[in-house]
Structure 1
Amino acid sequence: MALNDAATLIVGAGNYLTAPTGTALPTDLTAPPSPWENVGHTSLEDIFGITSEGGEATTIGTLQNSALRTKYSARTETLTFTLQQFDEPGLKLYYGSNMEVLADGTLGVPQNPTPTEAAFLAVFLDGANVFAFYAPKAEIFRADDLSISDTESLAGMPLGVKPLVMSPNKWAYAVTPLGSTATTPAA
């Protein structure tokens, strides 16, 4: 693989968006049209992460070759970021889409929360370059406990986005190569 200095990424800005499940990746990632909606303010300190579960390797052998083949278990990944906008849509992403709006205007936290199902798009800008993660179907829900640690920082709600395979795709999410345009995967 050749060195490509133009393929390095320094995130200067970014946005996280949701849309109805199955919404296609927009052709202009810098200004996604409706029905894509921005989730709101997010952390400048804790921008984005990916955690994995599964993918363990099991070595399978024979009497003649104890390491004949390797088999891997299924892997699931969760995309994480911290939402810092405590309005009704943001709270529902964290506490569950089945939160109730109570008569006094407060939101009732459900005992059996339901994750929000939606298409998800994370767009990162590096000058004129764009890099994105896209899932046509995902579950969005809390990724960690809420903690408000001091009076000098914005509080945040850690969110996890679990990409799900949407038929007929064989992939759960897609990434765009760093560049000024995106290649739209088949949804």
Structure 2
Amino acid sequence: MALNDNATLVIGSGNFFTAPVGTELPADLMAIATPWQSVGHTSLEDIFGITSEGGEATTLGSLQNKSLRTKYSPRQETMTFTLQQFDTPGLRLFYGSNAPTLANGLLGVPQDPVPTVAAFLVVFLDGVNHFGFWAPKAEIYRADDMSLSDTESLAGLPLGVKPMALSTNPYAYAVTPLGDADPEA
């Protein structure tokens, strides 16, 4: 692998979007249009993360070769970010898509929450460059407990996004490489 100065990333800004399951990646990531909808304000301090569960290795051997092959368990990744917009759509991402709007305008918190299932897109901008994560199908729900700990910063709703394979796709999500001369290569 050669050095590629055009493949580095410094996040200048970014946006998080949802759309109906199966929505294709926009052709122009610098101008996202409907059906994609922004989720709203997100944390400047805790921008984005990816954690994973699974992927444990098991060494399989024979009498002649104790480490003949390695088998890996399935891996499930979770993308995390903190939403800082406490409107009804944002609260439903945190509390569940089945959170009802009550007669008095309050949002009811369901005892058996249902994650929001949608296509998910994140686009980070670095000058004229962009870097994105796209999942044609994902479950979005709270990633951690809410903690309103001080009066000096914006409160947030920690969200987790679990990309899921759509139909027969051999992938759960895709990323946009930086600095490739030919994106098809």
Question: Do both share a fold (TM > 0.5)?
Answer: yes
- CA shift, 1:168, in A, is 2.3
Q: Which residue of 2 aligns with 1:77?
A: 77
Distance change (3 Å), C-alpha of 1:61 and 1:181: closer
Amino acid at match of 1:159: L
CA contact (8 A) 1:18 1:36 kept: yes
CA contact (8 A) 1:144 1:158 kept: yes
**Cα distance per residue 1:128-156 (max 9 Å; x no partner):** 00000000000000000000110000000
Q: Which residue of 2 aligns with 1:86?
A: 86
Q: Which residue of 2 aligns with 1:143?
A: 143
Aligned pairs (5 A) from 1:1-187: 1-178=1-178
CA contact (8 A) 1:130 1:180 kept: no
CA contact (8 A) 2:14 2:124 kept: yes
Q: How many residues align?
A: 184
- CA shift, 1:178, in A, is 1.8
- CA shift, 1:180, in A, is 9.8
Looking at structure 2, the residues matched to 21 and 13 of structure 1 have their Cα atoms a distance apart, in angstroms, of: 25
**Cα distance per residue 1:93-114 (max 9 Å; x no partner):** 0000000101111000000000
User: Aligned Cα RMSD in Å?
Assistant: 1.7
1:159 counterpart SS class: strand
2:92 counterpart SS class: helix
2:67 counterpart SS class: coil
Looking at structure 1, the residues matched to 181 and 118 of structure 2 have their Cα atoms a distance apart, in angstroms, of: 23
Q: List alignment gaps of at least 5 residues for structure 1.
A: none
CA contact (8 A) 1:29 1:182 kept: no
**Cα distance per residue 1:21-47 (max 9 Å; x no partner):** 000000111111100000000000000
Distance change (3 Å), C-alpha of 1:182 and 1:53: farther
Distance change (3 Å), C-alpha of 1:30 and 1:181: farther
Amino acid at match of 1:147: S
- CA shift, 1:4, in A, is 0.8
The runs of at least 4 aligned residues of structure 1 exceeding 4 Å deviation read 179-184
Distance change (3 Å), C-alpha of 1:101 and 1:164: same
Task: Say which is worse superposed, 10-19 or 171-180, in terms of deviation.
Answer: 171-180
Amino acid at match of 1:29: L
Q: List alignment gaps of at least 5 residues for structure 2.
A: none
TM-score when normalising by structure 1: 0.95
- CA shift, 1:82, in A, is 0.3
Looking at structure 2, the residues matched to 113 and 84 of structure 1 have their Cα atoms a distance apart, in angstroms, of: 20
2:64 counterpart SS class: coil
CA contact (8 A) 1:128 1:180 kept: no
